[in-house]
Amino acid sequence: MVIHTQEVRVAPRVNIYLPTDLAEEVRAADLNVSQIAQEALRAELDRRELTAGADVVVARLRGTLGEEERRQREQFYEWGKEWAQTRATVAELEAFETLTGMAWDSWIIPPGHSLKPFMADLAGWGRVSRVQRGPAFEALIEGALTVWGQLREDVYSEGR
């Protein structure tokens, strides 16, 4: 007599602990917790895999930049930091924060904006009133927002 057996694999059980209020909302919404957890865990593993090799990717991407573009970006980044430290207003820095979250091709520099005379002094922009989006100007914004990010909390908390 020959008996055939079939191996049955059972997925391992994992407990996920939720706060009571969240568990009640999940039940009320009739969510498939197992599926959502699997998708979230896979997404997190993918993110970690990407960031684990980030140094290699960053080095490769930097290599694709031309030397002139890299130099220009560095210069504009430093100018952005200097502008934020010496001339920018809170409203102007907040406007740059808003600008970074938007899709735009060109930006009209508002009358009286402190960036105009700053760039005229440094880069000979003169009477420029519109800026095209590009790596250099994005680097300027990034530099300014780096300073703003470091100081924002102190600026707002001082008046409280």
pTM of the model: 0.57
Domain count, the chain: 2
Q: How confident is the model at residue 158 (pLDDT cuts 50, 70, 90)?
A: low
Name the token pair of 50: 């990407």
Please check whether residue 154 lies inside any domain of the structure: yes
Q: Which amino acid is at 145?
A: L
Residues 84 and 135 in one domain: yes
Q: Give yes or no for residue 103 having a pLDDT over 80.
A: yes
| Position with higher pLDDT, 22 vs 91 | 91
Q: Give yes or no for residue 28 having a pLDDT over 60.
A: yes
Please check whether residue 6 lies inside any domain of the structure: no
Residues 51 and 71 in one domain: no
Residues 151 and 72 in one domain: yes
| Position with higher pLDDT, 97 vs 56 | 97
Burial of residue 80, with CB atoms counted within 10 A of its CB: 0-12 exposed, 13-18 middle, 19 or more buried: buried
> What mean pLDDT comes out for the span 138-145?
95
Residues 28 and 84 in one domain: no
Q: What is the pLDDT of residue 2?
A: 64
Residues 105 and 133: beta-carbon distance below 8 Å: yes
Q: What is the pLDDT of residue 149?
A: 94
Please check whether residue 7 lies inside any domain of the structure: no
129-141 confidence digits (pLDDT tens): 888 899 999 999 9
Query: Can you tell me the distance from the alpha carbon of 98 to that of 77, in angstroms, rounded to the nearest whole number?
Result: 18
35-71 confidence digits (pLDDT tens): 888 888 888 887 777 777 778 877 777 777 777 888 8
Query: Can you tell me the distance from the alpha carbon of 146 to that of 81, in angstroms, rounded to the nearest whole number?
Result: 7
Residues 135 and 89 in one domain: yes
Of 8, 28, 58, at which residue does a domain stop? 58
Please check whether residue 8 lies inside any domain of the structure: no
- Domain of residue 88, residue span: 66-158
Residues 133 and 100: beta-carbon distance below 8 Å: no
Residues 118 and 53 in one domain: no
Residues 6+ apart with CB under 8 A from 83: 114, 115, 118, 119, 140, 143, 144
